[in-house]
Amino acid sequence: MNIAIKKAWIKKQRYFVEKYQSNTNGIFSKEESDTTKHVKDFLRLKKPASILDIGCGSADIPAYIPDSLKKVYSGIDPLDIKRTYPCLVAPINEAAIKQAYDCILCISTLDHIAEPYQVAIKVKKWLKPNGYFILTIASYENSTYQRFQNTGRYTEPDPNHVWHFNIKDILRIFSNYKLIKAEHTILKQYIIIFQNAV
């Protein structure tokens, strides 16, 4: 990963966490609330014995984790802050995790990662056979293109995203998984659920 991109992203994450960590329930849009409900409902239904959240970010366990599953939740994130749950502090492409998980989440994170194929490779290693991978992304109708230009400046439409995916891009990146569900939520976000079918 380009060092300048990594530093810019960590700076942006740190700002977000410092500004909002004491008010995590009040900052999310209706879109994220809708996504939260979808993820929470699926987790309640499947009751995974272990959950890994790629790009967990905040100091507190996110709202999309049901209370009954908070004890089995852990995360991975490059931002080094104090958290109320176990978290490996590392970029995903550098993370070495030996444990296998029943469910891996990547909630509104993939479009911020410079090397999305690394996520597919790591998830395949870390997900138990027949385990679930839940991914949410902002949806775009155009094909994928990298937003961070060689100039070091972001361009429209969303300067916070390194990538802008459509559903075909996601299905291509995660082609080694069985698609369980792909749903477009109210405000242009996809929730996609894959299974590590054996």
**pLDDT of amino acid 145:** 39
**pLDDT of amino acid 108:** 86
Name, in order, each residue with C-beta under 8 angstroms of 141's C-beta and a sequence gap of 6 or more: 166
Domain boundaries, the chain: 3-19+32-195
**pLDDT of amino acid 93:** 86
Task: Tell me the per-residue pLDDT of 33-90, one tens digit each, with 9 for 90 and over.
Answer: 677 888 999 999 999 999 999 998 877 888 889 999 999 999 999 988 889 999 999 9
Task: Report the distance separating Cα 73 and Cα 175, nearest Å.
Answer: 26
Residues with pLDDT less than 70, the chain: 1-33, 139-161, 186-188
**pLDDT of amino acid 120:** 92
CATH class of the 3-19+32-195 domain in this structure: alpha beta
CA distances from 183 to 34, 42, 100, 147, 189 (A): 11, 13, 27, 24, 8
